Chains A and B, each alone.
Chain A
Amino acid sequence: MKKFICAVATTLTLGLASATWAEVAVIVHPSAGFDSLSEDDISRLFLGKSKSFPAGAQAVPVNQNEGSAARDKFNEAVCKKNASQYKAYWSQLVFTGKGTPPKDAGDDAAVKALVAANPTMIGYIDASAVDASVKVVHKIP
C-alpha cells in the first residue's frame, strides 16, 4: 500500500515536473574515445540488447530512479516506452535470467557523480546539471 501511495505521489509530482520541458543529456566519462552516440546505440544499451559501446568497450548503463522527469523523458524519447511499458519489457527478461535492467542510481547529481567516476558507465541527466566532469554524447531536446 505504501508503495502504491508512493507511486501515486510520484505520478503527480512527475506530471508537474514534465511540464518544464527540460533538455536531457546523455553522458559518459570524459575519457571516452567517442564524442557522440546515435539514439539507436543508446537504446540498445538501455534495453539490454548490447553490452558494449559501438567502438567495443564495455558499457554499463545506469538509470535515474523511477518517477524522475529525466528518466521518463529518456525512456519515451530513446527507448520508445512509457514507464509501464519499460517495466513490462524488463519484467520479461528479469524473471528468466536473460537480463538485468540498468541500476536505479538516483537523481541528476548521483548519476553524474557515478558516470564521472566510472569510464564504463553511461547515464542521462537534466542538461542544466552538465559540467566538465562528464562528456555529453547525445541530447534529447
Chain B
Amino acid sequence: MNNISSMRKKHSLALAITLCMAAPLAQAGDLNFSGFLSVGGGMVDDENGPAYSGYDEEDLTFDNNLLGIQISGNVSDKLTATVQLTARSEKDYEVDAEWAYLSWQATENSKIRAGRLRTPFYMFSDFLDVGYAYAWISPPREVYYLPFNNVNGVDFYTTNTLGIFDTTFQAYFGGFDDELDLNNDGILEEAKTRNQMGVAGTLGKDWWTLRAAYHKADLWIDVTGISMPVFGTLGNFANALTNTYNLPANANKLLVEEDSVTFAEVGLNIDTGRFVAAIEYVEFEPDDALLSKNKRGYAMGGVRFGDWLVHLTASQSKDDASHPEAGIPVAPQTAPLIGALQAVAASQAIDRDVISIGTRWDVTTGTALKFQIDDVDDKNQGDQKVFSVALQTVF
C-alpha cells in the first residue's frame, strides 16, 4: 500500500486504468497471472575505470534484481485488460506499472490497445524485462540505451501472412514523461516526449525474422543542470550565450526544447534451434540539440548444445557530436567560446566497442542461469571488464 501511495503523478494514468480494470475483473474471476523474475549480480575488473552495465565495484554485488507480475482478464468478449507491475532493485523496489492497457480485438488478426504500452523501439523491446526470453542477461547496452521504454497512448497491432511469410505491423501515438541520467553521473534530468509516433513491422518465416521501425517525437530534456567549467552549469552557459554574447541561436542549439527527433531501427533475428543470431542497427537524429547523432549496432551469434547456449556479441557506439558552435564567426576572441561549445557537445558523443561472451543454461523449463563477460573499450573513458551472472525465470 505504501508503494502505491508513493507513486508519483506520472503513474496516475496507469494506476487509473489498473483501478478501473480491477473492479469488473475481480467479479469476473477469470484472471490470468504470469510473472518473471531476474536476480542478477556482477563486478568490474577495475574500479578506477568507467562503470558499465550498472556495475562499478570490484566486489560482487547482487543489485540487479527485477520482479514482474502480469495480470490480465477479459472485460468482455473482445475487450481485455492487462497490467504488468514491476519492482526493480535499482529503483528501491518501488512498484511501477510498465504496461497497463485495454486491448480491443478489432478483427481476428488485429487489435487496438490504449493505455501505457512498451514503445516498440527495438527487436527485443516487447520482452526487454523478461530475460528468460533471450540469450543475454540483458540485450546489448550500446543499442538498448534509450530511456523511454514506455509510452502513454494508443496503438494498432496486426498480424498477417504475405505469401509464405508471416508479417506483423504496429503503429502508435502518444507521449511520455520520465527522468533520465544523461551523463551517467547520478543526476537525473527531467524529460518528456509529445506527439510521439512510430511504426514497426516484421517479416519472417520459421527460423528468421526481419524487423524495421521508425519513430518521431517532440523531445524536451532539461539539460540546464549539467555541470560545466567556468559557467557552473549548462543553464548559466546558455543564459550567457543569449544575454552576454548575443548568440541566442547557439544557446538554442544547446538546449533540448521541443526538438523534433527521430529514431530508426533495422534488425534480423535468427533461431534455427541449433544456431541463434541477431543483428540490429539504430540511428537517433537529435535535430538542433546538444544530443549527438547516435549510430549504434551489434551482431550476435550463438550455438546450442543441449540445455546450454554459448554466444558472442560485438557491439559498437559511434556517435557524431552536434555542432552548437555553428554560425559563430571564427576569430581569436570567439575561440574560447567555440571551444567550450564543442567540448560540451563532445561530452555527449560516445565512441565505444564492446565484446561480450556469455552462456545460458536452461536449468529447468522456465529457469535459466546465465553468465556473461563484457570487454568494454571506451575511446574517451578507458577500458573496463564486467563479469555478471543472473538467474532468470518465468512463471
Contact with B along A80-92 (1 / 0, CB 8 A): 1101110110011
Cβ–Cβ contact A84 & B130, under 8 A: no
A117 within 8 Å of B (CB atoms)? no
For the complex, is A11 an interface residue (Cβ under 8 Å from B)? Answer: yes
> Would B365 and A95 count as touching, CB distance under 8 A?
no
Count of interface residues, chain A, beta-carbon cutoff 8 Å:
26
**A92 to B34, alpha carbons, bound, how many Å?**
12
Chain A-chain B contacts (Cβ-Cβ < 8 Å), number: 73
Q: A7-B364, A80-B273, A97-B99 are in contact. Are A91 and B132 (CB under 8 A)?
A: yes
Cβ contact of A95, chosen from B36, B103, B307, B366, cutoff 8 A: B36
Q: Which residue of A lies closest to B111 (CB)?
A: A97
- The answer for the CA separation of A118 and B133 in the assembled complex, in Å, is 32
A49 to chain B, nearest CB (A): 6
Tell me, yes or no, whether A41 is within 8 Å of chain B by CB: no
Q: A92-B133, A94-B70 are in contact. Are A84 and B395 (CB under 8 A)?
A: no
Do residues B394 and A87 form an inter-chain contact, with CB atoms below 8 A?
Answer: yes
- Across the interface, B366 reaches (CB within 8 A) one of A87, A96, A100, namely A87
Residue B126 interfacial (CB < 8 Å):
yes
Give the residue name and chain of the A residue nearest to B157 (CB).
A98
Min C-beta distance of A20 to chain B, whole Å:
20
**A88-B101 in contact (CB<8A):** no
Binding site for A on B (CB under 8 A): 32, 34, 36, 68, 70, 72, 80, 82, 84, 99, 101, 103, 108-109, 111, 113, 118, 126-127, 129-130, 132-134, 157, 159, 161, 166, 206, 271, 273, 307, 362, 364-368, 394-395
23 contacts between A and B (CB under 8 A): A7-B364, A11-B364, A49-B166, A51-B109, A66-B365, A67-B365, A81-B273, A84-B368, A85-B271, A85-B273, A88-B132, A88-B133, A91-B127, A91-B394, A92-B126, A94-B34, A95-B68, A95-B84, A95-B130, A96-B118, A97-B101, A97-B103, A98-B126
Residues of chain A touching chain B, judged by Cβ–Cβ distance below 8 Å, are 3-4, 7-8, 11, 49-52, 66-67, 80-81, 83-85, 87-88, 91-92, 94-98, 100
